[in-house]
Amino acid sequence: MAKAESAGMGMNKTGIGTAPRLSKEMIESSRTGPVSQGNSGTPADLRAQYIRQGNNVGSVPPPTSMKGVAKSALQALKGEKAIVLIDKLAERLAFERTGTRLYETLIQKAHAIETGNGKVVAGLERICQEELSHFHMLWGCLEKLGADPTVETPSADVSALASQGIPKVLADPRTTLAQCFEAILIAELVDNDAWERLIDLANGFNQTDMVQQFRQALSQEAEHLAFIHGCLTKEINREAGISS
Amino acid sequence: MALDLMKEKGVPLEEQLLSFNWRDMVQLPVSKLDDDAFTKVRIILMNGIESEQLRFKHVCGRMNEHLQLALAQVRRVEQFQQTTINWLLPADMSPLEITLGYEQVAIEVTASIAQNEPDPYLAQVYRFGLLEDFDHLYRYSALYERTEGKDPNNILQSYTDILPGRPTAEEHRAPEDDLRNYYKCSSAAPITKMNAYTLVGGEYQTHDFYMTIGPMFSDPLARQLYAEIAAIEEQHVTQYESIIDPNESWLEKWLLHEANEVYNYMSCQQYETNAKVKAIWDRFLDYELGQLHFVIDLFKKHENRDPAEVLPPELPEPIRYESHRQFVREVLEKEVHLRARGTEFVDKEDANSPSVQHRQALNQHGAPSEIVAQGYRWMPGTELIQKKSAA
Report the pLDDT value the prediction gives residue A61, as an integer from 0 to 100.
93
Report the pLDDT value the prediction gives residue B314, as an integer from 0 to 100.
85
**Would you say the CATH fold of B95-247+317-378 matches that of B1-93+249-313?**
yes
Closest residue in B to A55 (Cα) is B28
Q: Rounded to whole angstroms, how far apart are CA atoms B197 and B190?
A: 11
Q: Rounded to whole angstroms, how far apart are CA atoms A181 and A170?
A: 9
Mutant choice from B218, B376, B388 vs A, greatest count of A C-beta within 10 A? B218
**Does residue B157 sit at the A interface (CB-CB below 8 Å)?**
no
State the residue range of the domain holding A139.
Answer: 105-146+153-238
Phi-psi region of B304 (alpha: psi -120 to 50; beta: other; left: phi over 0): left
Task: Flag whether pLDDT at B203 surpasses 80.
Answer: yes
H/E segment holding residue B340: strand B339-341
Task: Flag whether pLDDT at B199 surpasses 70.
Answer: yes
**Considering only A66-75, B129-138, B262-271, B278-287, which range has the smallest mean pLDDT?**
A66-75
CATH 1.20.1260.10 assigned to domain B95-247+317-378? The reply is: yes
* Bridge partner residues of B340 (DSSP): B345
**Considering only A110-114, B260-264, B324-328, which range has the smallest mean pLDDT?**
A110-114
For range B89-97, the mean pLDDT: 98
Per-10-residue mean pLDDT of chain A, 244 residues long, equals 76 92 96 90 95 94 65 58 94 98 96 83 97 98 95 98 97 96 98 98 95 98 98 93 81
Cβ-defined contact of A49 to B217 (cutoff 8 Å): no
pLDDT tens-place string over residues B13-72: 999 999 999 999 999 999 999 999 999 999 999 999 999 999 999 999 999 999 999 999
Question: Are the C-beta atoms of residues B209 and B235 closer than 8 Å to each other?
Answer: no
Report the pLDDT value the prediction gives residue B311, as an integer from 0 to 100.
94
Report the pLDDT value the prediction gives residue A79, as an integer from 0 to 100.
64
Provide CB contacts within 8 A for A70, sequence distance 6+: A63, A143, A144, A145, A146
Q: How many structural domains compose chain A?
A: 1
Cβ neighbours of B31 in A, within 8 Å: 55, 57-58
Cβ neighbours of B387 in A, within 8 Å: 132
Please report, for chain B, the start and end positions of each structural domain, with discontinuous segments joined by +.
1-93+249-313, 95-247+317-378
In a 13 Å sphere around the CA of B374, the CA atoms on its Cβ side amount to 7
Q: Rounded to whole angstroms, how far apart are CA atoms B117 and B95?
A: 32
For range B239-266, the mean pLDDT: 98
Of B90, B150, B385, the CB nearest to A98: B150
Report the pLDDT value the prediction gives residue A68, as an integer from 0 to 100.
43
CATH code of the domain made up of B1-93+249-313: 1.20.1260
pLDDT tens-place string over residues A107-164: 999 999 876 678 999 999 999 999 999 999 999 999 999 999 999 999 999 999 999 9
Task: Flag whether pLDDT at B212 surpasses 60.
Answer: yes
Question: Are the C-beta atoms of residues B110 and B160 closer than 8 Å to each other?
Answer: no
Cβ neighbours of B28 in A, within 8 Å: 50, 53, 55
Cβ neighbours of A154 in B, within 8 Å: 33
User: Does A229 fall in a domain?
Assistant: yes
User: Does A217 fall in a domain?
Assistant: yes
Report the pLDDT value the prediction gives residue B112, as an integer from 0 to 100.
98
ipTM of predicted complex: 0.93
Task: Flag whether pLDDT at B309 surpasses 80.
Answer: yes
Q: Rounded to whole angstroms, how far apart are CA atoms A95 and A217?
A: 13
Q: Rounded to whole angstroms, how far apart are CA atoms B50 and B113?
A: 19
Greatest alpha-carbon span in chain A: 77
User: Does A208 fall in a domain?
Assistant: yes
3-state secondary structure of A101: helix
Closest residue in A to B89 (Cα) is A57
